[in-house]
Amino acid sequence: MAISTNFFAVFNSIPSTSSSFSSSFTKPSLGSLKHHYGLKVGKPSSNRRLVLSCSSSQMDSNSDTMNIGNGRSQISSASSFGLTMSETTMSRTSYKWQRVLLKVSGEALAGDQTQNIDPKITMSIAREVAAVTRLGIEVAIVVGGGNIFRGSSWAGSSGLDRSSADYIGMLATVMNAIFLQATMESIGIPTRVQTAFRMSEVAEPYIRRRAVRHLEKGRVVIFAAGTGNPFFTTDTAAALRCAEINAEVVLKATNVDGVYDDDPRRNPNARLLDTLTYQEVTSKDLSVMDMTAITLCQENNIPVVVFNLSKPGYISRAIKGERVGTIIGGTRNSMAAKT
Ligand code: UDP
């Protein structure tokens, strides 16, 4: 199978519940949930035990979440969009993913490239994310910054060293994150930005447990400033944060439909690939993601879905696990395949 690497370079540049848990948690009202979840992270764990009556073997005493089973699935609270816990849990179980990491590149935010950010794009992202968070699916987002500044392109200009250039690039991701947050909150989606380095006047610092708690409360968490380290990319940040917060998939929103077996601009017969293995991506040196990011996904069994953000409805379809784009290192589930 011939897979065009040139083509990829183009877009790259631009709980299951436990019985004791459910029996002690039957149909709480949203009001009581809010009361319980209003507890601040960091309060003594005994407070949290009042909320979740479960055995110590089921819950890591240092954790705010319960990891049950071998998968990457989580138990989490109802979203803050008016669903009770039981409704949310029922709704969530009918989707492939319960917690996703959406990677939005800076270039995708720029739309037709006439401005750095196209507000129509941020609004369409916000609307689609709103639709899925209402279903109880937890959404974390990593934003890129390539629409504003890309360190590797500027390093060397006027003596700018690579690390300094990359820090500027990371700051660019914060600008995008704040823009996206404002858009989301304008339509009522509670959102938190967490930055990989401290900028406490504008955003929270990245604290894994806190991020997870935000997600459990139905808030969208936007991770900004990449990994906080130069020489990395926001794709790697997406893989890293996905692994850290136990999200089940990286959904990479791009300006193309997915991964093709040839360059579709040159070859009208190029075929959109449905699935790929990590090995196919790395051995053929496909620029779907940088090597560090794809390796991190492979090592942590995180599937990656590459899909087109500009197609209406595709973000919410990808988040719901429906068949869009190309899936790397994972399989389509039978239900999603029918949609
Ligand atoms: N960056 C970095 N470390 C990271 C993530 C990003 O130094 O962990 C810098 C790097 O200069 C990069 C810029 O931030 O070029 C913007 O990120 P990226 O290129 O990944 O954005 P995207 O291509 O997704 O728009």
Chain segment 150-169, per-residue pLDDT in tens: 999 999 998 999 999 999 99
227, pLDDT greater than 80:
yes
Which atom of ligand 1 lies nearest, measured to the CA of 196? Answer: 8
User: How far is the CA of 184 from the CAs of 62, 142, 191, 222, 331, in angstroms?
Assistant: 31, 14, 7, 11, 31
> What integer is the mean pLDDT of 175-196?
98
> What integer is the mean pLDDT of 53-69?
34
Ligand 1: centre distance to CA 166 (Å):
7
169 domain-assigned? yes
> What integer is the mean pLDDT of 182-207?
97
Q: How confident is the model at residue 20 (pLDDT cuts 50, 70, 90)?
A: very low
Is pLDDT larger for residue 336 or for residue 265?
265
49 domain-assigned? no
Residue 169 and residue 223: Cα distance in Å, rounded? Answer: 14
> What pLDDT sits at residue 195?
98
Lowest mean pLDDT among 25-29, 182-186, 209-213: 25-29
> What integer is the mean pLDDT of 103-130?
93
> What integer is the mean pLDDT of 218-247?
98
> What pLDDT sits at residue 255?
86
123 domain-assigned? yes
> What integer is the mean pLDDT of 280-295?
88
- Give the phi and the psi of residue 210 in degrees, each rounded to 5: -70, -40
43 domain-assigned? no
Ligand 1: centre distance to CA 264 (Å):
27
User: How far is the CA of 175 from the CAs of 146, 167, 179, 199, 232, in angstroms?
Assistant: 11, 13, 6, 12, 18
Q: Could you tell me how far CA 84 lies from the centroid of its own chain? A: 24
> What integer is the mean pLDDT of 97-118?
93
What's the token pair of residue 112? 């037709």
Share of the chain above pLDDT 70, in %: 71
Q: Could you give the 3-state DSSP secondary structure of residue 319?
A: helix
> What integer is the mean pLDDT of 305-313?
94
Ligand 1: centre distance to CA 235 (Å):
8
Q: What letter does residue 191 receive in the DSSP assignment?
A: E
CB-based burial, 259-297: b 16+ in 10 Å, e otherwise: bbbbbbeeeeebeebeebebebbeebebbbbbebbbbbb
Which of 107, 166, 256 is the pocket-test mutation for ligand 1 (most atoms within 8 Å of CB)?
Answer: 166
9 domain-assigned? yes
124, pLDDT greater than 60:
yes
What's the token pair of residue 198? 């401290």
Which of 170, 176, 223, 244 is the pocket-test mutation for ligand 1 (most atoms within 8 Å of CB)?
Answer: 170
> What pLDDT sits at residue 330?
83
283, pLDDT greater than 50:
yes
> What's the whole-number average pLDDT of the chain?
78
| Radius of gyration in angstroms for the set of CA atoms belonging to the chain, rounded to a whole number | 20
Q: Which of 339, 338, 316, 326 is nearest to 97 (CA)?
A: 316
Which atom of ligand 1 lies nearest, measured to the CA of 147? Answer: 25
Share of the chain above pLDDT 90, in %: 60
> What integer is the mean pLDDT of 250-260?
92
> What pLDDT sits at residue 114?
84
What's the token pair of residue 257? 């439909």
CB-based burial, 32-55: b 16+ in 10 Å, e otherwise: ebeebeeeeeeeeeeebeebbebe
3, pLDDT greater than 50:
no
> What integer is the mean pLDDT of 182-202?
97
Would you tell me the crossing angle of helices 291-299 and 234-244 to the nearest 10 degrees? 10
Nearest CA to ligand 1 atom 22: 144
Highest mean pLDDT among 29-38, 51-60, 172-181, 326-335: 172-181
Q: Which of 210, 264, 220 is nearest to 104 (CA)?
A: 220
> What integer is the mean pLDDT of 212-235?
98
Ligand 1: centre distance to CA 112 (Å):
20
Q: What's the whole-model pTM score? A: 0.76
> What pLDDT sits at residue 235?
98
Please answer whether residues 189 and 134 qualify as being in contact, where contact means their C-beta atoms are separated by less than 8 angstroms: no
Q: Could you give the 3-state DSSP secondary structure of residue 194?
A: strand
Ligand 1: centre distance to CA 291 (Å):
14
50, pLDDT greater than 50:
no
Pairing mode of beta strands 204-205, 275-276: unpaired
> What integer is the mean pLDDT of 283-308?
92
The partner residues of 60 in beta bridges, in order of sequence, read: none
User: How far is the CA of 115 from the CAs of 108, 147, 194, 254, 258, in angstroms?
Assistant: 12, 9, 25, 17, 24
66 domain-assigned? no
36 domain-assigned? no
Question: How many domains does the chain fold into?
Answer: 1
> What pLDDT sits at residue 337?
40
Q: How confident is the model at residue 91 (pLDDT cuts 50, 70, 90)?
A: low
Q: How confident is the model at residue 92 (pLDDT cuts 50, 70, 90)?
A: low
What's the token pair of residue 337? 């395949």
Amino acid, res. 86 = S
Pairing mode of beta strands 326-328, 275-276: parallel
Lowest mean pLDDT among 19-33, 91-105, 269-283: 19-33
The partner residues of 134 in beta bridges, in order of sequence, read: none
Which atom of ligand 1 lies nearest, measured to the CA of 235? Answer: 20
CATH of the domain at 156: 3.40.1160.10
Q: Which of 283, 282, 309 is nearest to 296 (CA)?
A: 282
What's the token pair of residue 176? 């995008």
- The parent domain of residue 200 ranges over 5-14+71-338
95 domain-assigned? yes
